[in-house]
Amino acid sequence: MIIREMEMDDIERVAEIEAQNFAKPWTAVGLFTYFMREDAKFFVAVEDEEVVGYCGVLISIDEGDITNVAVEKSRQGKGIGTELVQAMIHNMEEAGVTTLHLEVRASNENARKLYERAGFLQDHIRKEYYSEPTEDGIAMSRRHSH
């Protein structure tokens, strides 16, 4: 598997993965809008020349906010999400980002465990942060000390 920065040609495939994983997925147009932002960085996981997962982060000076991490449904549970998150963390540290933030659905045990293994700690609960279905969000962060 290869982890690389997302390219324009990946957007349609990433939108498909997004639709498999989220009740309110980003569309290809929404992804393109974020992809074009100077403060955004997206990474894709590629297996056999096919994008099988992606993650994104918005950067503000020395902090980053992870937007989404998603893996094709049929490929979940194989460590792809973990590799994506680790590659993104490494890239952010190289870029001088010292703190990463994210929100995750309270019910998403697999994602919460993945983030905890990557060094994220729970900060607080955001009541009814998600809609469709309405659910609390767990705010987590990871600090990197030089």
Do residues 116 and 85 make contact, with C-beta atoms less than 8 angstroms apart? no
Q: Could you check whether the bond before residue 25 is cis, i.e. omega within 30 degrees of 0?
A: no
34 is catalytic: no
Q: Which residues contact 66 (CB under 8 A, 6 or more apart)?
A: 55, 56, 57, 88, 100, 101, 102
Do residues 97 and 62 make contact, with C-beta atoms less than 8 angstroms apart? yes
Catalytic residue, chosen from 16, 103, 132, 135, is 103
Nearest to 16 by CA among 84, 58, 85, 73: 73
103 is catalytic: yes
Catalytic residue, chosen from 115, 116, 128, 135, is 115
Nearest to 116 by CA among 127, 102, 130, 126: 102
Indicate the length of the chain as a whole number: 146
Give catalytic residues, as residue numbers.
103, 115
